[in-house]
Structure formats: C-alpha cells, structure tokens
Amino acid sequence: MSTTLRFFRFASPAAFYPLAGKLVPWFGAVAAILAAIGLYLGMLRAPTDATQGDAYRIIFIHVPAAWMSMLLYVVMAFWAAIGWAFNARLASIVARAIAPTGAMFTFLALWTGALWGKPTWGAWWVWDARLTSELILLFLYAGYIALVSAIDDTRRADRAGALLAVVGSVNVPIIYFSVIWWNTLHQGASVSVTTAPKMASVMLLAMLLMTLAFWAYAFAVIFVRTRAIALERDNHAAWANDSVARAPVRQGASS
C-alpha cells in the first residue's frame, strides 16, 4: 500500500516531462504578475534616491539578476553532482538546462552594473573583487557549456561538466563575500538576514518582487529546456513517442 508520495518517480524523464509541462504556464504567469507589480512599485512609486538620483532604479533588475546568477550556479552544480554521484540522468539534464539561463543572468548583472557604475562611479568597469569574481562566474558558465558540448559521449560530458561545475562553485562565496573581504568600490549588501535593510521599504518590496519574478521566470525557462533536452536524449524511447502522440506538434507552425 503506497499512500506516501513517491517523489523519486519524478526522477525519471518520462515522469518529469508531463509534470514540468503542467508547471511551466504557472511559473510564467507568476513571473509576469510579480514583474508587473514590482516594476510599478519600483519605477512609479519608489522615491528618488537622495545621493544617486534616479540612476539607482537599475537596482530593481541588477540585484535580482546578480542573485539569480549565483543561485542558479549553486543549483546547477548541485544537480550536476547528483547526476554524477547517483548516475541520475534527469539531474544531469537539469544541470545542463540551467547553464544558459544562469549565464544570461550573469551577463545581465554585469551589463546593468556597468550602466549603473558609469553615472555613480564614473567608470563602466573597474577590476575590483566583486566585479572580477562575477566576470569569472560568466566564464565558468561558458566553460561548462563549452565543455559539455565538446564531448560526444553524453554521460561522459555530464560527468566532466559536473566536475567543472563543482570545482567552480568555490567562486560563489567569493562573489558573495567579496564586498566584506576586500575593500571594493562596489557597495556592500543592502539586504542581509542579520541586519535591518538599508533601504526604504517600498524599494525593498519592489526588489524582492522582482527577485521572485526572475526566480519564477528561471523555473519556467529551465523546465522547458529540461523537457527539450530529455526529448533529444530519449529520442527513441517509448515515453517520448507517447508524449508526442498525446499532444501532437502543430505542423507548419515553424518548420
């Protein structure tokens, strides 16, 4: 009698594929709604900053993008390690599905940071600890993507990628604590779990809503990519054929 939820059932691509398909629209909708509220509060309701003027409004995308870039790296390394240690195929697929989105958020953190640095510091870029370690994060994502796509044997590629991802994860705490460990131009954390936030509550609320929106967006995009990679790998499997048969692709839409 199995009345307990069997979560490990979803560790197989065949079971995860339909589940992820059901969740994607919900994550997409949550992302859109939260982003709309967050942008309304951040761009229209939040007051102008006393020292930085309206340039500070970049914070509502800069900080969420930077947080997601670090979080996604840790999640990617975690699932890559699980896929390696337990020979779990879906875990490796998820790791690979995370990498491009993580790289995109890393690029956005650097891009929005440059556009914020220019008016407030007078420089697009400085080689300080926070910026440099975030740039290394971008190289780690790029290295992971290049490595796994350079090895033809899929599972060997997964293992090699896992090694790179796990070793590279040492960089994440370096990014996070860089503003404490070194004397950097980058400002310290505006939000921390141990102290009161150093910003007005409407600003903080807008930033947290945007972070949740980016988080939901990442879930939606990564789940679609996970489904795509699962289908590509199990091209000849019965479950793949069944899922296509249940919901046929509209022919001619983009072919």
Partner 1 sequence: MNWNSAADFFAMGGYGTYVWGAYAVTLACMAVEPVLVAMRHRRARREIGGAPR
In the complex with partner 1, the residue whose CB is nearer, 2 or 251, is: 251
CB atoms within 10 A of CB 13: 22
101 binds partner 1 (CB under 8 A): yes
253 binds partner 1 (CB under 8 A): yes
121 binds partner 1 (CB under 8 A): no
Tokens of 249: 């692709």
Residues in region 147-206 near partner 1 by CB under 8 A: none
Question: Which ranges of 40-153 would DSSP assign to H, the alpha helix?
Answer: 59-85, 89-121, 129-150
50 binds partner 1 (CB under 8 A): no
Q: In angstroms, what is the minimal distance from the CB of 168 to partner 1?
A: 22
125 binds partner 1 (CB under 8 A): no
110 binds partner 1 (CB under 8 A): no
16 binds partner 1 (CB under 8 A): no
List the one residue from 25, 29, 53, 149 that touches partner 1 (CB under 8 A): 53
Residues in CB range of 195: below 8 A, 6 or more apart: none
Size of the site for partner 1 (CB under 8 A): 46
From residue 19, give the alpha-carbon distance in Å to each of 134, 218, 226, 227, 251. 34, 16, 11, 10, 24
Residues in region 20-39 near partner 1 by CB under 8 A: 28
Q: Are 106 and 137 in contact (CB under 8 A)?
A: yes
Instruction: Identify the CA nearest to 210 among candidates 185, 184, 229, 191.
Output: 191
Q: In angstroms, what is the minimal distance from the CB of 179 to partner 1?
A: 20
Tokens of 52: 């930085």
Residues in region 220-239 near partner 1 by CB under 8 A: 220-221, 224-225, 227-229, 231-232, 235-236
Q: Are 63 and 113 in contact (CB under 8 A)?
A: no
In the complex with partner 1, the residue whose CB is nearer, 55 or 88, is: 55
Q: How far is CA 189 from the centre of its chain?
A: 20
From residue 139, give the alpha-carbon distance in Å to each of 39, 94, 162, 229. 30, 20, 15, 23
Q: How far is residue 17's CA from residue 10's CA, in Å, rounded to a whole number?
A: 9
51 binds partner 1 (CB under 8 A): no
In the complex with partner 1, the residue whose CB is nearer, 178 or 226, is: 226
- Which residues of this protein are in contact with partner 1, per CB under 8 A? 28, 43-48, 53-55, 57-58, 61-62, 65, 100-101, 104, 107-108, 111-112, 115-116, 118-119, 217, 220-221, 224-225, 227-229, 231-232, 235-236, 240-241, 243-244, 249, 253-255
